[in-house]
Amino acid sequence: MFPERLRALRRGKHLTLPQLAQLLNQQFPTDEEHQNTPSQIGNWERGVRTPSYVEVQKLASFFNVTMDYLTGLTENSTYDLARLFISDKSLQFNGQSLDSSDRYEIYQLISGYIHGKTGRPQPPTPTMKQEELDLGMDKNNK
């Protein structure tokens, strides 16, 4: 499970193995002997090698997922946006950092949208039949 999830997370961010290794080394500096390498990460993705606990921690932090998700102990990585907006985590949208007033306004917009959905008419579902329009034409006289 770990190899598949690591590969999916990396590809989801459109990163190559060398790019991921470089970003990990920048975010989690260490001595040269313990730096991450593209071949090391490739071995993890292929299941040839198993990363240490510390490496799994780094990957989970980098991809903003739990270690349980990364190692396959949980099935999904669902986040409650309300909790995320009030957390102390740094949030970005398309690479632009959101300050506290941005976070509050976006929270209010989402909250209004969700609460406002109950009063809106719902679009027709595929099981509903559409009425035919009678133009007063006889089917035999087209």
- Residue-by-residue pLDDT tens, the chain, 142 positions: 899 999 999 999 999 999 999 999 999 998 888 899 999 999 999 999 999 999 999 999 999 888 988 988 876 556 677 777 777 778 888 888 888 888 888 888 988 888 887 766 666 665 655 555 555 555 555 4
Mark whether 64 and 99 lie in a shared domain. no
Range of the domain at 19: 2-71
Q: Is 115 exposed, middle or buried (0-12, 13-18, 19+ CB in 10 A)?
A: exposed
- The pLDDT assigned to 129 comes to 56
The pLDDT score that the predictor gives to residue 137 is 54
pLDDT at residue number 17: 96
**Which residues make Cβ contacts (< 8 Å) with residue 88, sequence separation at least 6?**
none
Same structural domain, 23 and 67: yes
Q: Mark whether 65 and 85 lie in a shared domain.
A: no
Q: Are residues 66 and 92 in the same domain?
A: no
Give the separation between CA 140 and CA 135, rounded to whole angstroms.
Answer: 13
Query: Quick one: pLDDT at residue 40?
Result: 96
16 and 35 belong to one structural domain: yes
Is 107 in the same domain as 55?
A: no
Query: 56 with 77: CB under 8 angstroms?
Result: no
The answer to whether residue 133 is domain-embedded is: no
Longest dimension (CA), the chain: 87
The 8-class DSSP code of residue 140 comes to T
Assigned domain for 13 exists: yes
Residue ending a domain, among 43, 71, 99, is: 71
Q: Give the chain's domain count.
A: 2
